[in-house]
Chain A
Amino acid sequence: MSDIPKADELFKSIDYNPPLTGWMETPVDFSPGNWCYPAKPEKIEYMETKLPGLWGEARKWVPSEVDWKLPANWKETVVSGFRERLKKFRSLQLFMDICVRCGACADKCHYFIGSGDPKNMPVLRAELMRSVYRGEFTVAGKILSKFTGSRVMEEDVLKEWFIYFYQCTQCRRCSLFCPYGIDTAEMTMMARELMHLVGLNTNWIMEPVSNCNITGNHLGIQPHAFKDIVDFMVDDIEEVTGRRVKAPLNEKGHEILFITPSGDVFADPGIYTFMGYLLLFDYLDLDYTLSTYASEGGNFGSFTNNETMKKLNAKMYAEAERLGCKWILGGECGHMWRVVHQYMDTMTGDTQWSGMTTPKSPVTGTVFNNAAATKMLHITEFTADLMKHNKLKLDPSRNDHLRVTFHDSCNPARGMGLLEEPRYVLKHVCNNFFEMPPATIREQTFCCAGGSGLNTDEIMEIRLRGGLPRGNALRYVQEQHGVNMMACICAIDRATLIPLADYWAPGVAISGTHELVANALVLEEGEVRTMDMRQEPLPGFEDEDDDWTPPNMEDA
């Protein structure tokens, strides 16, 4: 990160005035830092054996070099793939035809707001593709190419796609404002599908995809190692709470299968959220199991093509059947829930085993009819229901050292509509809760700028630029209300928001929602905690073990 400018300098460098040259004539910057590393050939070779015909030729190539080693028939492949998808996706066909370039979307994209690059305006990002559509498939575009903004598929065009369709996080903020509902996420998905056909890919997506298929999770954690990690967290929970929780793995005959993104098993601060789940379930004596085979809630396939999305998603129902679980409880994750909410039942619903039932909380008896088809419930729905029925003894003052705000993840906000449940949960476990400005939350929320497979360090400046709107809103509540913790319901957020906050709003930490639930959960009458889930001492207990003060306590 050494060559990344300071926040103030970066901010001053943003210029919303377009360049003097037209966008088709403006060259693309292929220098390192503008692209994610291509996939390792062995990842592609592996996926080719699993889903043949979707990945092009596995090879080593570098985007900053002139020769991308495209297959000889790449143009034909892309153009015929494009034509095929126009018939398979009405969204694509329609969005190619009806944009009027009114520009309402232009300043809605976090990447545009942070960069000023006109090709990051959603309208122009889509024009990268529409221009080819008009030039290849429409009469007007073929005859009057110059006047209608049309062009044919060329190598430079494809290269431009690679840069800009990997500068879109499929967050759908533009589609909220578009008068025709044109959704750039749809076009980004299609462009990436087409690029995969000719072997243009990124390692940060393809390695997780192949790992998910082999080991069940994107980090490639093998089952025994997964168990070690979970055991380690059980130890940590005991350290904090004195309670030895159960953490059933791959056990048959339980009512509920719990699936969460594997990022929560692996990295700080996701692990505290994972510990929160374990503690809550143990407190409820919930009849559930985890699975190492289906140990990834996130669907990295959804960043590649719909076939892979389906293949990875299919594990959830397959594992529910094998273990005899009646319904699935899903952890905090963004794109996982886009897939579960809007795709899962349509893709793989017919593979549900006969014993699956509409989720019913064994604690409160609530039947969740809003999940009647997928049989899959969001953890904040489950917990909110518990709170509504007063089934949890909570001491929110244990979170009094935290001044909390909530970051709506793009997918649950604009691809689901889950807005109130997480807030309800947070307000039950925190006394100090503050919203960020209205134009940056709920359905208008801003992306962490690392979603859809862009959470990789080689494009850190792009991510930090895209993180400006979120970071600036966070800085605002930090100054207004002393906010020192941003809660979220997404594992990618828990990874990406940390550098974002460090850069734009230093001093704010990131947590999952159930980490804060675990802090506040009173396990038994009179239980006293001396530390939070991070094993940082709670106010009044600082001197117990050492005199170290966590950074966010310095001003308190």
Chain B
Amino acid sequence: MNALYSLLFVFLLVLIPLFGVDAAHMRTFFGVCIPTTAFIIFLIGFVYKVVIWGRSAVPFRIPTTGGQFQSFDPKLFKQNKLDCPQTGAQTFFRMVLEVFAFRSLFRNTQVSLHQGKDQPVVAYKSSKWLWLFAITFHYSFFIIALRHLRLFLEPIPFLPVGALEFVDGILQIGAPVMYLSDVGLMVGVLLLLGRRLVLPRINYISYVSDYFPLLLILSVALSGIYMRYYAKVDIIAIKELTMGLVTFHYVVPESIPASFFVHVFLVSTLMVYFPFSKLMHMPGVFLSPTRNLPNDSRAKHHVNPWNDPNIKAHAYADYEKQFGVPMAEAGLPLDNPENGVPKDEAEA
């Protein structure tokens, strides 16, 4: 049901620019106003959210330690520097692997229950599917985004754009040459969507807000693929428009087809949706306190900005006052010998 709602939304989103451009002739609105506004909302929303996070305090260093810590004798007990970093540099490398290689997800296991011969068995096996789907999807998306820089830069720099295009099209299949990242994105999205639909547990925890971004990205990809491989749109005209967006000399050439406006509208929706959704996991992963902090609170003093100095231990003096008499009887030393005198004797 949630998936169907999401599909319906995406269909509506495709129809809006089709009507807008073909029927209402709002070419400038959909070619310039919408993407510019969307980009501004994206930027402001993104920065706003990150600022909110940044303003929230980090009282304690709470890394999840995934291996041996730095021991008193690092030779005898070898530290796992990547999973249990002690220094800033080690933490940096942990984060690099987390962000670029999805290291935690790579660790994924799957549990299954079996009835053994005469006892139950809980079995664990490595499960790298989700990691594979995710890495395929994210890297493809990332490469595609970088490739799009060719539309906003003049001259087109070889690094990264030209080089990426070369490697991405290295299989030399078809004309225009098929990009691996296009295949990767489609496959990745479909697999991620598929597991949400098929796996009962994942299906159970999925909201509209989980299906919608996947379907939206799918529609972005499909409209892009349609333009490149089937409609073979006038790329020169499109670059005229996109260069106009970044140089503020807005032009909307007549030869640009409706499919482009659909693509741009979907991307704009994605940009607007981004800061208000779970897609913010992208900047969020950099700030995660269980990953981006060194495991050094026992060796180095840190300051909790809201530490309350007024919270003090129950005073020993009060403790001794309360238990002084039996303490004295038991032969335990007292700071104040008077506390050891039974009350009635003291009064007498």
Q: Do A and B bind each other?
A: yes
Which A residues are closer than 8 A to B by beta carbons?
A: 7-8, 11-12, 14, 16-18, 22-23, 50-51, 86-94, 97-104, 106-108, 113, 118, 121, 123-124, 127, 138-140, 144, 146-149, 172, 175-183, 186, 213-216, 222-224, 227-228, 249-252, 292-293, 306-307, 310-312, 314-315, 318-319, 322, 340-347, 349-350, 366, 368-374, 376, 381, 384-385, 388, 413-421, 424, 437, 439-440, 442-444, 468-469, 472-473, 475-476, 479
Chain B residues near A93 (CB, 8 Å)? 52-53, 56
Inter-chain contact total with CB atoms closer than 8 Å = 336
Chain A residues near B23 (CB, 8 Å)? none
Chain A residues near B80 (CB, 8 Å)? 417
Among the 9-residue stretches B160-168, B179-187, B224-232, B306-314, the one with 4 or more Cβ atoms under 8 Å from chain A is B306-314
* The residue from B200, B209, B212, B298 contacting A340, defined by CB atoms under 8 A apart: B298
Chain A residues near B289 (CB, 8 Å)? 90-91, 94, 181
Chain A residues near B203 (CB, 8 Å)? 18
B201–A90 contact, CB under 8 A? no
Which B residues are closer than 8 A to A by beta carbons?
A: 2, 5, 49, 52-53, 55-73, 76-78, 80, 83-84, 98, 102, 104-105, 107-111, 113, 115, 119-122, 124, 130, 134, 199-210, 212, 276-278, 280-281, 284-285, 287-291, 295, 297-304, 306-309, 311-316, 319, 322-323, 326-327, 329-333, 335
B210–A181 contact, CB under 8 A? no
B104–A178 contact, CB under 8 A? yes
A345–B302 contact, CB under 8 A? yes
Please give me the residue from chain B that is nearest to A437 by CB atom: B124
Q: How far is the CA of A12 from the CA of B70 in the complex (A)?
A: 43
A11-B113, A342-B61 given; A372·B299 CB < 8 A: yes
Please give me the residue from chain B that is nearest to A252 by CB atom: B333
Q: Shortest beta-carbon distance, A100 to chain B, in Å?
A: 5
Q: Shortest beta-carbon distance, B197 to chain A, in Å?
A: 13
Q: Shortest beta-carbon distance, A259 to chain B, in Å?
A: 13
A149-B209, A223-B323, A343-B60 given; A16·B201 CB < 8 A: yes
Q: Shortest beta-carbon distance, A379 to chain B, in Å?
A: 13
Q: How far is the CA of A366 from the CA of B192 in the complex (A)?
A: 53
Q: How far is the CA of A473 from the CA of B122 in the complex (A)?
A: 8
Please give me the residue from chain B that is nearest to A438 by CB atom: B124
A93-B56, A123-B205 given; A147·B5 CB < 8 A: yes
* The residue from B56, B67, B206 contacting A443, defined by CB atoms under 8 A apart: B67
B201–A18 contact, CB under 8 A? yes
| Dominant secondary structure of chain B at its interface with chain A | loop
A17-B200, A87-B57, A443-B65 given; A345·B301 CB < 8 A: yes
Max chain A Cβ within 10 angstroms of own Cβ: one of B201, B322, B332: B201
A179–B285 contact, CB under 8 A? yes
A213–B330 contact, CB under 8 A? no
A147–B72 contact, CB under 8 A? no
Chain A residues near B280 (CB, 8 Å)? 97-98
B288–A182 contact, CB under 8 A? yes
Given A311-B314, A347-B307, A421-B71, 5 new contacts (CB under 8 A): A99-B278, A103-B201, A180-B285, A252-B333, A415-B64
The 8 A-B pairs of least Cβ separation, nearest first, read A417-B69, A98-B284, A224-B330, A314-B313, A439-B124, A147-B208, A181-B290, A417-B65
Chain A residues near B301 (CB, 8 Å)? 345-346, 349, 373
Q: How far is the CA of A373 from the CA of B301 in the complex (A)?
A: 6
Chain A residues near B53 (CB, 8 Å)? 90, 93-94, 97
A18-B200, A98-B281, A292-B332 given; A417·B298 CB < 8 A: no
Chain A residues near B65 (CB, 8 Å)? 413-417, 443
Chain A residues near B63 (CB, 8 Å)? 342
Chain A residues near B316 (CB, 8 Å)? 293, 318-319, 322
B278–A223 contact, CB under 8 A? no
Chain A residues near B309 (CB, 8 Å)? 350
A139-B276, A346-B307 given; A118·B201 CB < 8 A: yes
Q: How far is the CA of A314 from the CA of B310 in the complex (A)?
A: 11
Chain A residues near B204 (CB, 8 Å)? 18, 22-23, 118
A88-B57, A176-B64, A443-B67 given; A472·B278 CB < 8 A: no
* The residue from B68, B84, B276, B278 contacting A98, defined by CB atoms under 8 A apart: B278
A113–B284 contact, CB under 8 A? no
* The residue from A23, A101, A369 contacting B72, defined by CB atoms under 8 A apart: A369
Q: How far is the CA of A424 from the CA of B68 in the complex (A)?
A: 13
Q: How far is the CA of A123 from the CA of B276 in the complex (A)?
A: 19
